[in-house]
A and B are shown apart, each in its own frame.
Chain A
Amino acid sequence: MNNILEVNGLVKRYPAFSLDNISFSLPEGCVTGFIGANGAGKTTTIRSILNLAHKDAGTIKIFGLDTVKHEQEIKDRIGIVMDGSYFYNELSMQDMKSIVAPAYSKWSDADYRSYMEKFELDPKQKISTLSKGMRMKFALVLALSHQAELLIMDEPTSGLDPLVRSQFLGIVMDYMENGGKGVFFSTHITSDLDKIADMLVLIDGGKIILQQSKDDLLDTFRIVKGNVALLNDQNRQLIRGLKVSSFGFTGITDHVAKMKKELPDVLLEKATIEDIMLAYIGGGNDDR
Chain B
Amino acid sequence: MIANLVKKDFLLVKKSIVGFLGISILVPLLAIILMRNTAQIQGIGMFIFLYMVILMELSFMQAVATEEEKSQKATALLCAAPYPRKSYVIAKYICYLISYGVCVAVYSIIAAVYPRLDFLNIAEALVGFLVGTILYGVYTPVAIKYGITKARLVFTAAILLMSLGPILTIKVFRSDITLILSFMQNTSGTLVPIILGIAGVGIFLISMIVSIRIFAKKEL
Q: Which residue numbers of A lie inside 8 Å of B, CB to CB?
A: 47, 50-54, 71-73, 75-76, 80, 82, 85-91, 95, 98-100, 102-105
Say whether, besides A50-B80, A72-B84, A80-B77, A88 and B12 are in contact (CB < 8 Å).
yes
Are B11 and A95 in contact, with the CB atoms below 8 A? yes
Kindly state the separation between the CA atoms of A53 and B220 in the bound complex, as whole angstroms. 6
The smallest C-beta distance from A191 to any residue of chain B, in angstroms, reads: 26
Are B7 and A85 in contact, with the CB atoms below 8 A? no
B1-27 vs A, Cβ < 8 Å mask (1 yes, 0 no): 100110110011000000000000000
* CB of B73 closer than 8 Å to a CB of A: yes
* CB of B159 closer than 8 Å to a CB of A: no
Are B70 and A90 in contact, with the CB atoms below 8 A? yes
Say whether, besides A54-B217, A102-B4, A86 and B76 are in contact (CB < 8 Å).
yes
The smallest C-beta distance from A69 to any residue of chain B, in angstroms, reads: 13
The smallest C-beta distance from B196 to any residue of chain A, in angstroms, reads: 35
B189-201 vs A, Cβ < 8 Å mask (1 yes, 0 no): 0000000000000
Q: Which of A51, A73, A87, A103 contacts B4 (CB 8 A)?
A: A103
Say whether, besides A53-B220, A75-B82, A104-B82, A89 and B71 are in contact (CB < 8 Å).
yes
The smallest C-beta distance from A70 to any residue of chain B, in angstroms, reads: 11
Query: Which residues from chain A contact B74 at a C-beta distance below 8 Å?
Result: 86-88
* CB of B39 closer than 8 Å to a CB of A: no
B105-123 vs A, Cβ < 8 Å mask (1 yes, 0 no): 0000000000000000000
Query: Which residues from chain A contact B5 at a C-beta distance below 8 Å?
Result: 99
* CB of B33 closer than 8 Å to a CB of A: no
A49's nearest neighbour on chain B, judged by CB, is B80
Q: Which residue numbers of B lie inside 8 Å of A, CB to CB?
A: 1, 4-5, 7-8, 11-12, 67-68, 70-71, 73-74, 76-84, 217, 219-220
The smallest C-beta distance from B120 to any residue of chain A, in angstroms, reads: 34
Q: Which of B7, B82, B219 contacts A52 (CB 8 A)?
A: B219
Kindly state the separation between the CA atoms of A88 and B82 in the bound complex, as whole angstroms. 18
Kindly state the separation between the CA atoms of A103 and B12 in the bound complex, as whole angstroms. 18
Query: Which residues from chain A contact B8 at a C-beta distance below 8 Å?
Result: 88, 99
Are B77 and A100 in contact, with the CB atoms below 8 A? yes
Kindly state the separation between the CA atoms of A91 and B82 in the bound complex, as whole angstroms. 21
Are B81 and A91 in contact, with the CB atoms below 8 A? no
Kindly state the separation between the CA atoms of A53 and B79 in the bound complex, as whole angstroms. 11
B81's nearest neighbour on chain A, judged by CB, is A103
Are B1 and A103 in contact, with the CB atoms below 8 A? yes
Query: Which residues from chain A contact B12 at a C-beta distance below 8 Å?
Result: 88, 90-91
Are A100 and B81 in contact, with the CB atoms below 8 A? yes
Query: Which residues from chain A contact B67 at a C-beta distance below 8 Å?
Result: 88, 90
Are B81 and A86 in contact, with the CB atoms below 8 A? no
Kindly state the separation between the CA atoms of A97 and B59 in the bound complex, as whole angstroms. 26
Are B1 and A85 in contact, with the CB atoms below 8 A? no
Are A54 and B77 in contact, with the CB atoms below 8 A? no
Kindly state the separation between the CA atoms of A52 and B76 in the bound complex, as whole angstroms. 7
Kindly state the separation between the CA atoms of A1 and B79 in the bound complex, as whole angstroms. 30
Query: Which residues from chain A contact B68 at a C-beta distance below 8 Å?
Result: 88
Query: Which residues from chain A contact B219 at a C-beta distance below 8 Å?
Result: 47, 52-54
Kindly list the 9 A-B residue pairs having the minimum CB-CB distance in the complex, ordered from nearest: A86-B77, A103-B81, A52-B220, A75-B82, A86-B73, A76-B82, A102-B4, A99-B8, A88-B71
Are A82 and B76 in contact, with the CB atoms below 8 A? yes
Kindly state the separation between the CA atoms of A206 and B12 in the bound complex, as whole angstroms. 37
Kindly state the separation between the CA atoms of A90 and B74 in the bound complex, as whole angstroms. 11
A52's nearest neighbour on chain B, judged by CB, is B220
Are B70 and A98 in contact, with the CB atoms below 8 A? no
Q: Which of A90, A98, A99 contacts B78 (CB 8 A)?
A: A99
Query: Which residues from chain B contact A50 at a C-beta distance below 8 Å?
Result: 79-80
Kindly state the separation between the CA atoms of A89 and B82 in the bound complex, as whole angstroms. 21
Say whether, besides A54-B217, A102-B4, A87 and B71 are in contact (CB < 8 Å).
yes
Query: Which residues from chain B contact A90 at a C-beta distance below 8 Å?
Result: 12, 67, 70-71
Most buried by A among B5, B79, B82, B219: B82
